[in-house]
């Protein structure tokens, strides 16, 4: 009878560990897919040597609008599902970042004002070329800048 209880205890431990593994694996899978569903981004860029002034807006539906105030030029496009997933993933990983302090002085740097609305919650981050590095926002800003350039080239 003692041997049977040991096997039963070992079986229960194995079952608990295996169940925990399965639950952990399924929650990790869900975690990978938990990107924000309803979001809107507005990125304003100004500065630089030539006096760059551009605004872009992108929604979770893929509607992109880019306005270059200096050149009086506007472009509208639909962003691909793949690009939207990449941006949504980037938004999800950066939404808790809130830089503190003043922006470092930087002559002829680009100034970035990033406004993000996720499911009704909003936050705004101001960065420049110096503070962007190491802010945790580099990937998102880089993707948005690439979309801007691509949109203007296509139109």
**pTM above the 0.85 mark?**
no
- Measured over the CA atoms of residue 35, residue 39, residue 40 and residue 45, the dihedral's sign is negative
Segment 54-60 shows an average pLDDT of 96
In this prediction, residue 86 has a pLDDT band, given cuts at 50, 70 and 90, of very high
Highest mean pLDDT among 3-7, 33-37, 56-60: 56-60
In this prediction, residue 5 has a pLDDT band, given cuts at 50, 70 and 90, of very low
* CA contacts within 13 A on the Cβ side of 121: 7
Is the per-residue pLDDT at 15 higher than 70? no
Say how far apart CA 110 and CA 133 lie, in whole Å: 12
Contact between 134 and 51 under an 8 Å Cβ cutoff? The reply is no
Segment 44-71 shows an average pLDDT of 92
List the beta strands (DSSP E) in 1-155. Answer: 39-47, 52-59, 63-68, 73-78, 110-118, 121-128
Say how far apart CA 18 and CA 21 lie, in whole Å: 5
Helix then strand count (H, E) for the chain reads: 4, 6
User: For residue 133, what pLDDT is reported?
Assistant: 83
Which residue has better confidence, 19 or 76?
76
Mean pLDDT is lowest, of 60-64, 84-88, 116-120, for 116-120
Is the per-residue pLDDT at 100 higher than 70? no
User: For residue 9, what pLDDT is reported?
Assistant: 40
User: For residue 75, what pLDDT is reported?
Assistant: 94
In this prediction, residue 152 has a pLDDT band, given cuts at 50, 70 and 90, of confident
């Amino acid at each position: 009878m003692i041997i049977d209880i040991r096997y039963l205890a070992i079986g229960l431990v194995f079952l608990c560990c295996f169940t925990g593994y399965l639950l952990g694996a399924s929650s990790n899978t869900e975690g990978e897919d938990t990107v924000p569903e309803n979001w809107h981004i507005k990125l304003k860029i100004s500065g630089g040597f030539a006096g760059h002034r551009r605004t872009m807006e992108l929604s979770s539906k893929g509607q992109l609008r880019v306005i270059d105030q200096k050149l009086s030029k506007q472009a509208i496009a639909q962003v691909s599902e793949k690009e939207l997933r990449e941006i949504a993933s980037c938004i999800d990983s950066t939404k808790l970042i809130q830089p503190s302090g003043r922006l470092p002085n930087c002559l002829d740097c680009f100034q970035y004002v990033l406004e993000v609305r996720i499911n009704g919650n909003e936050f705004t981050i101001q960065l420049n070329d110096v503070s962007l590095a190491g802010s945790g926002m580099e990937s998102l800003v880089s993707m948005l800048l690439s979309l801007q350039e691509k949109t203007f080239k296509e139109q």
